[in-house]
């Protein structure tokens, strides 16, 4: 059996260099001039992004220029192919591929296998296909508004800490979640796209990431560095935006992007931040979205937002002219039961009070001794939150019950 160090080497988690994922198959394509056997392979195992009631996006890292596709189906016989085509072109990338599987039913189990083929552009009319590799077969379930129960886990502020991520993986696998929320500050900053594959797709080696879809929440550190603008290439979200809503069972979720933690005018940003305009855009969207039936009709409403809206009795942002300050009133008026956040690197649970009709739940920090796994279970009657440390010990909990 592989030990944890070997595993981390293979999936390239948190600062450990990427190695090719073991090749399950390696074949040249008949009738096409093949490249020499040159070590083409996956640099991560597959992971699942942007889940919906009808599909999911399969993401995987590769170590050379290549194309990719996904076989899928209701049984392990598979039988259908998702091409990943966009604007008439099949995927071609040097680092990672994202292939959307769509047209599924709510709550459907879907089996899948990822294929990739090395491709070399000699010229526009001389494109050569090389080795083909494939993963093993895995499965996942789509989101399901009619599900009786919703189980989820939340990570936050992992900041590239390999030891923390390895420990969180162990606890996460025990919980059996329907979806996984990564609540911001995955990285310290984004300087190169190679590192982004490692940081954002590298968790794909664990069974939970191959089979449990991720809902991504951007943190302030994820906005930093010259490559931060490439984040949508590696983390796919609904409509390419970092603010969106979803529904699974008794829960309607809203994801908000709290942006940077200092004003746009702060000198260190050199005038490159434009978050006030972005937060105005999000606020207008949130006001409209809260009227949608999938949110209004849900038994419980939960928001995920990297920077908390409150710490005890102190409200954020302090500047009431900041558009984010409207989120508090909007979520309160829409009867949200909790906001789940990170950012402070100190875990806390603040139950509702006279100022705040929802609970503010905050996860811990990047070091293993401060990190937390927030586990949630929602039924028709209640939402139960348990905040665990990296050894699985419960640090805090919160429960809220459906009215009437
Ligand atoms: Fe952080
Ligand atoms: Fe943060």
Q: Are 70 and 55 in contact (CB under 8 A)?
A: no
Q: How many CB atoms lie within 10 A of CB 402?
A: 14
- Name all domains of the chain by residue range, CATH numbers in brackets: 19-141 (2.60.40.10), 150-401 (3.60.21.10)
Question: How many residues are given for the chain?
Answer: 404
Gap from CA of 327 to ligand 1 centroid (Å): 21
Give the distance, in angstroms, between the CA of residue 361 and the centroid of all CA atoms in the same chain: 19
pLDDT digits (tens, 9 = 90+) for 68-80: 999 999 999 999 9
- Can you tell me which residue has the tokens 């050379």? 64
Query: How many whole angstroms from 116 Cα to the centroid of ligand 1?
Result: 35
Average confidence (pLDDT) over 319-332:
94
> In which band, very low, low, confident or very high, does the pLDDT at 404 lie, cut at 50, 70 and 90?
low
Run of H or E residues at 261? none
Q: How confident is the model at residue 209 (pLDDT cuts 50, 70, 90)?
A: confident
Cα of 362 to ligand 1 centre, how many Å? 12
Query: Three-state SS for 135?
Result: coil
Alpha carbon 340 to its chain centroid, in Å, reads 15
Name the residues around ion ligand 2, CB cutoff 5 A. Answer: 185, 219-220, 343
179 alpha carbon to ligand 2 midpoint, in Å?
A: 22
* Ligand located closest to 155 CA: 1
Residue 216, H or E segment: strand 214-217
Tell me how far the alpha carbon of residue 217 lies from the centroid of ligand 2, in angstroms.
Answer: 11
In DSSP notation, 30-76 reads: TTSPPPP-----BSS--EEES--SS-EEEEEEBSSSEEEEEEEESST
How many Å lie between the centroid of ligand 1 and the Cα of residue 157?
4
Instruction: Point out the ligand nearest to the CA of residue 159.
Output: 1
* Cα 399 to averaged position of ligand 2 atoms, centre (Å): 26
- Mean of per-residue pLDDT scores for the chain: 90
In the structure, what pLDDT confidence band is assigned to residue 22 with cuts at 50, 70 and 90? very low
Instruction: Say what percent of the chain tops pLDDT 90.
Output: 86
* Structure-token pair, residue 394: 């419960």
pLDDT score, position 3: 36
Ligand nearest, relative to CA of residue 218: 2
The pLDDT, as a whole number, for residue 27 is: 40
Residue 78: predicted pLDDT: 98
How far does the centroid of ligand 2 lie from the alpha carbon of residue 366, in Å?
10
- Report the helix count and the strand count for the chain, using DSSP H and E: 8, 22
Phi-psi region of 161 (alpha: psi -120 to 50; beta: other; left: phi over 0): beta
3-class secondary structure per residue, 139-170: EEECCCCCCCCEEEEEECCCCCCHHHHHHHHH
DSSP labels, 314-336: EESSS-TTSTTHHHHHHHHHTT-
Say if residues 198 and 13 touch (Cβ distance below 8 Å). Answer: yes
Residue 363 CA to residue 341 CA, distance in Å, equals 6
Question: What's the gap in Å between 222 CA and the centre of ligand 2?
Answer: 8
203 pLDDT tier (thresholds 50, 70, 90): confident
- Tracing tokens 């490249």 back to the chain, one arrives at 35
pLDDT at position 204 is 59
User: How far does the centroid of ligand 2 lie from the alpha carbon of residue 168, in Å?
Assistant: 18
Whether residue 233 is predicted with pLDDT greater than 80 in this model: the reply is yes
pLDDT in tens, 356-402: 999 999 999 999 999 999 999 999 999 999 999 999 999 999 999 99
Position 66 pLDDT exceeds 80: yes
pLDDT in tens, 95-139: 999 999 999 999 999 999 999 999 999 999 999 999 999 999 999
C-alpha of residue 343 to centroid of ligand 1, in Å = 4
State how far Cα 284 lies from the chain centre: 24
**Burial (CB count <10 Å: 0-12, 13-18, 19+), residue 123:** exposed
pLDDT attached to residue 206: 72
């Amino acid at each position: 059996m592989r030990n944890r160090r070997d595993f981390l080497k293979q999936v390239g988690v948190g600062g450990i260099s990427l190695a090719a994922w073991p090749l399950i198959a390696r074949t040249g394509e008949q009738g096409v001039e093949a490249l020499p056997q040159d070590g083409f392979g996956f640099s991560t195992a597959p992971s699942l992004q942007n889940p919906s009631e009808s599909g999911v996006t399969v993401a995987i890292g590769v170590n050379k220029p290549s194309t990719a596709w996904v076989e899928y189906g209701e049984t392990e016989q598979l039988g259908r192919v998702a091409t990943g085509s966009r604007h008439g072109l099949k995927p071609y990338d040097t680092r990672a591929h994202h292939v959307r599987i769509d047209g599924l039913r709510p709550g459907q189990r879907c089996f899948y296998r990822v294929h990739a083929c090395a491709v070399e552009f000699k010229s526009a009319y001389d494109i050569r296909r090389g080795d083909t590799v494939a993963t093993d077969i895995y499965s996942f379930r789509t989101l399901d508004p009619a599900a009786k129960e919703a189980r989820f886990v939340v990570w936050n502020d992992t900041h590239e800490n390999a030891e923390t991520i390895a420990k969180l993986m162990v606890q996460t696998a025990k919980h059996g979640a329907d979806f996984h929320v990564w609540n911001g500050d995955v990285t310290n900053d984004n300087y190169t796209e190679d590192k982004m594959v490692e940081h954002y797709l590298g968790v794909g080696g664990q069974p939970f990431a191959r089979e449990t879809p991720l809902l991504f929440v951007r943190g302030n550190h994820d906005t930093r560095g010259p490559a931060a603008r490439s984040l949508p290439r590696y983390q796919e979200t609904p409509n390419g935006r970092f603010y969106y809503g979803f529904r699974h069972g008794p829960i309607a979720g809203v994801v908000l992007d709290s942006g940077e933690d200092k004003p746009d005018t702060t000198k260190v940003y050199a005038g490159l931040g434009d978050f006030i305009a972005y937060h105005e855009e999000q606020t207008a969207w949130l006001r409209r979205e809260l009227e949608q039936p999938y949110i209004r009709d849900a038994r419980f409403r939960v928001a995920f937002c990297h920077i908390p809206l409150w710490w005890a009795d102190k409200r954020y942002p302090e500047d009431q002219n900041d558009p984010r300050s409207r989120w508090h009133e909007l979520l309160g008026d829409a009867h949200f039961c909790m906001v789940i956040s990170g950012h402070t690197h100190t875990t806390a649970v603040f139950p509702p009070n006279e100022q705040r009709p929802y609970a503010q739940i905050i996860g811990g920090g990047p070091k293993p001794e401060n990190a937390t796994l927030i586990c949630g279970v929602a039924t028709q009657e209640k939402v139960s939150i348990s905040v665990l440390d990296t050894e699985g010990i419960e640090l805090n909990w919160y429960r809220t019950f459906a009215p009437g």
